[in-house]
Amino acid sequence: MPVADSSKPPSPDVEICSSDGDGEPFCFTFWSNDSKGIEVRRKGCFQSPDDCSGHTSCVSHEKTKSLHFCCCEGDLCNKEFFYEPIWIDNEGDNQMYDLPTIPKVLVIVIFIVSCVVAGAYAIKRRQYSCISDKHRHIQVAHNLSAEESGLRPIELLEVKAQGRFGVVWKAKYKNDYVAVKSLSLEYYQLWSNELDVFKLPKMSHENIVHFIGGEDRSSSIPKAYWIITAYQELGSLHDYLKFNTVTWEQLCIISFTMARGLAHLHEEIPCEKSDIFKPSIAHRDFKSANVLLKNDLTACIADFGFAFVFRSAVCDSNHERIGTKRYMAPEVLEGVVGFSNYAFLCMDMYACALVLWEILSRCCVHEDAESKYRLPYEAELGENISIETLQEFVVAKKGRPLLKEAWKNNTLLSNVCEIIEDCWDHDAEARLSAACVTERFSWYLRSAVSSDTKLIV
């Protein structure tokens, strides 16, 4: 199986293999197991459909004294290897034939010698089968024991959310609760991308979910890739708004901290060392379900599987339509996205406007507060909407979720309506930046809360 992103350069522990045209390349491991412990003699690539085809795990069944050889089919299949001897009984009528002692010993000796010779021949053969190519990645693993794998002792407690890519668990690590996002194996690239984003310089921020670690659990049961973050008891903004309304002050707190987190994500920040900096990052799947709430109702942004890190001033043109379709900007729906960094950030701001609309619709300042939480465009287009329906309403008709007259006529809420309209402008370049939205809500928050409140910045 090909690796998820073969365009990335391999790590020092990865060997690159190619097929000779007769089939998929295979992996092998040759190791010894004696009184000194397990020692990997060699790992690499091997093209031998007859010997390895159909074996997805690297398992040796050869009953030898100390040397073992196994091969398997599939990307990274020799990450771990095992020895499982097969004990062969006499078949037929299950009769046991009493052979003389000397022939038994002779058979055992011949068997051991044959295994050693076959193993040596296989190694020699594989030395000529490992061809350098940029299409296959086979990991060479050196750590085999569970203790050396670095996996944290985490106890999964309760499923909190489930989506098309995986499951989010409430879990316990040491004495603290944590959130574990468990991704299915086919979504390795999302897991890898999110890890890359979290590991960037200056990503630690009070309005970005606190990252604890990422773990490759592809060899565990169940097989998965984990992202471990701080656990937020209130859950996502989406879930909170379904069952709660908010006051004007709470609206300002949530909106300000959410915008500040997005502004930090978008900002390019120099670090202490001149050659290191935090690049600008576009979220590309910004929505209320990816905004988490802390106990004080301050927000933190999560889920960076689709995030795009800007390494240069211009993005390449190979970007498919990704994210949650309900929150896709008009230019994304229309397929006319610009390839500058700024164009990608503008898409986030359109989605931010929809999230602000969700918060506003649940604000109890006015008598016309929504009695039931609704997603953006749910009132206009229904719960299950298609790309084609959105293209017709959002692009062709330039429709947007309704901003009620009661909101526009309210002294406080009219300010939020103005921000929302500026953020979901059909012209992407006319939209407000996250930093500008942060600044406006900072002013509203200062006006809404007392001067001794710690939330004032």
Give how far the C-alpha of residue 292 lies from the chain's centroid of Cα atoms, to the nearest Å.
Answer: 17
Q: How far apart are the first and last CA of the chain?
A: 52
Give the angle subtended at the CA of 192 by the CAs of 191 and 198, to the nearest 5°: 90
Distance CA 266, CA 272 (A): 19
Amino acid at 233: E
Give how far the C-alpha of residue 249 lies from the chain's centroid of Cα atoms, to the nearest Å.
Answer: 34
Give me the helices (H) in 300-383, please: 330-334, 341-361, 378-381
Single out the residue of 86, 73, 88, 94 nearest to residue 19, CA to CA: 73
Q: DSSP 3-state assignment of 354?
A: helix
Task: Find tokens 């565990």 and name the residue.
Answer: 220
Q: Please state whether beta strands 269-270 and 277-278 pair in parallel, antiparallel, or not at all (unpaired).
A: antiparallel
Lookup: tokens for 58:
């690297």
Lookup: tokens for 355:
């999230």
Distance CA 235, CA 161 (A): 9
Single out the residue of 304, 411, 297 nearest to residue 359, CA to CA: 297
Give phi and psi for 348, each to the nearest 5.
Answer: -60, -40
CA distances from 370 to 253, 287, 327, 374, 403 (A): 20, 19, 20, 8, 12
Question: Could you give the residue numbers annotated as active site?
Answer: 285
DSSP secondary structure letter of residue 149: G
Lookup: tokens for 262:
């997005």
Single out the residue of 125, 128, 131 nearest to residue 21, CA to CA: 131
Q: With 0-12 CB in 10 A as exposed, 13-18 as middle and 19+ as buried, what is 418?
A: middle
Distance CA 233, CA 396 (A): 41
Distance CA 98, CA 408 (A): 97
Q: Please state whether beta strands 281-282 and 308-309 pair in parallel, antiparallel, or not at all (unpaired).
A: antiparallel
Residues 6+ apart with CB under 8 A from 352: 258, 259, 262, 286, 423, 434, 437
